[in-house]
Chain A
Amino acid sequence: MPTYKDVAIVVRTHKLGETDRIVTMLTRGRGKVRAVAKGVRRTKSRFGARLEPGMVVELQCYEGRSLDTVTQAEMIAPYGDHISRDYPAFTAATAMLETADRLSEEHEPVVQQFNLLAGGLAALAGRTHPIDLVLDSYLLRAVSIAGWAPTFVNCAGCGAAGPHRAFNLAAGGAVCYSCRTPGSSAPDPRTFELLAALLSGDWEQAERSDERARREADGLVAAYLQWHLERGVRSLRLVDHPVYVASPVPPAVGVALP
């Protein structure tokens, strides 16, 4: 039977039979993979702990007709373990993992999607940036990689140079005076600035934002995601929003999202 090796992020798991699990993973080389991990629910399992959501592993599998089978898993980064001890980080990570699952296909590797998720989980585990900003930045960039890049400066309709005052979900972000249609909203200019910073990964700018902008941006990001993903992202509803605190001094060193 053909076997393969890859680097994988565990996205979610399902129970199978008495002691097995079906593990859904985002791999670097082959997109989404669903594989059976035998015996991992036994407390004596050799690699059960490594195949929990949020873990990054070096994976070895053999191919099956519908499902592959995990033969080996070596730990690369136990992000899931760190995240489970921080409830808001856990809920943000779950929303990221579910989004990654929804945006990826089997046998269609997207390296940027893999790197983005790994970077996002690392940021949550290492607490390098505020959790809500990491989540929103991840979501904006994940949908962009999937082909639905929003714009927060120039007009999404005609490309006219911004900044603009109106925001329209269907159009794809900021819209100019002549492109705005009924149903457009008018977010605070600082919210636009924050959204643009989150999309480009400008943490210094993003962390200077105030509570109001963060709250508004958060709502717009969620709406944008739900607009593009049919059925929406379930775990987004359960994200444990932190008490918004502006951090005046950004951390000096940090693992930036790639």
Chain B
Amino acid sequence: MYEGVVQDLIDELGRLPGVGPKSAQRIAFHLLQADRADVQRLSEVLAVVKDKVRFCDLCFNVSEDTLCRICGDSRRSVSLICVVEEPKDIMAMERTREFRGRYHVLGGAISPIDGIGPDDLRITELMRRLGAEPIEEVIIATNPNLNGEATATYLSRLLSPLGMPVSRLASGLPVGGDLEYADEVTLGRAFEGRRLIGG
């Protein structure tokens, strides 16, 4: 245990996701040794971010306005909606520059063992959007793990009876990897998601 305020700092840092006690201690001592100006800037950004940043009214992406940059962009297609777990997934999708539609952030995935069911995600909001916007296809881009797949299964069960086309982002082989190292689940999914390239 350190004295007073240093320990408080370590405790606060240790509450951040992915930061264990050792990392918290390392970051705390880094901050103690850093330039006053650098630390000042960090503390200002922290204060501003809580005041200014909110969630987009439509898609629940992080935003500085009622609508995020993507929902406010009139050049983006309103007929495609891509469902993701977290705002950080939007960043990953945007880096591909492949997708020109809009998003919907669920706020996680169904995880009964953590007490998270469908009602704890923004699924009602998604359904409301489907009624209000001219959406022609829902693309589900939840994580390719058990909870992400189960969430996709749940959504497709919910949306298919409405006649809404639902697609799931293909799982497949990592570009740049060797086929022989692929695990059987990924390889099996890659077979399922194969596409015609000739004939």
Which residues of chain A have a CB within 8 Å of any CB of chain B?
12, 15-18, 43-44, 46-50, 52-54, 75, 78, 80-81, 83-87, 90-91, 94-95, 97-98, 234-235, 237-239
**Contact residues, B132-191 vs A (CB, 8 A):** 144-146, 149-150, 153-154, 157, 174, 176-177, 181, 183-186, 188
Q: List 5 A-B contacts (CB under 8 A).
A: A15-B17, A18-B18, A46-B181, A87-B157, A94-B112
* Given A15-B18, A234-B112, residue A47 in contact with residue B150 (CB < 8 A): no
- B117 interface residue per 8 A CB criterion: yes
- B115 interface residue per 8 A CB criterion: yes
Return the chain B residue nearest A84 by Cβ.
B149
Tell me whether A47 and B146 are in contact (CB under 8 A): no
- B197 interface residue per 8 A CB criterion: no
Give the distance in Å from the alpha carbon of A50 to the alpha carbon of B145 in the complex. Answer: 10
Tell me whether B18 and A53 are in contact (CB under 8 A): no
Count of chain B residues with a beta carbon within 8 Å of a chain A beta carbon: 26
- B37 interface residue per 8 A CB criterion: no
Task: For B34, list chain A residues within 8 Å (CB).
Answer: none
Tell me whether B145 and A52 are in contact (CB under 8 A): yes
* Given A234-B112, A235-B112, residue A87 in contact with residue B153 (CB < 8 A): yes
Task: For A78, list chain B residues within 8 Å (CB).
Answer: 184-185, 188
How far apart are A101's CB and chain B's nearest CB, in angstroms?
Answer: 8
Task: For A83, list chain B residues within 8 Å (CB).
Answer: 146, 150
- B113 interface residue per 8 A CB criterion: yes
Tell me whether B153 and A90 are in contact (CB under 8 A): yes
Task: For B186, list chain A residues within 8 Å (CB).
Answer: 49
Return the chain B residue nearest A55 by Cβ.
B185
Task: For A239, list chain B residues within 8 Å (CB).
Answer: 112
Give the distance in Å from the alpha carbon of A43 to the alpha carbon of B92 in the complex. Answer: 13
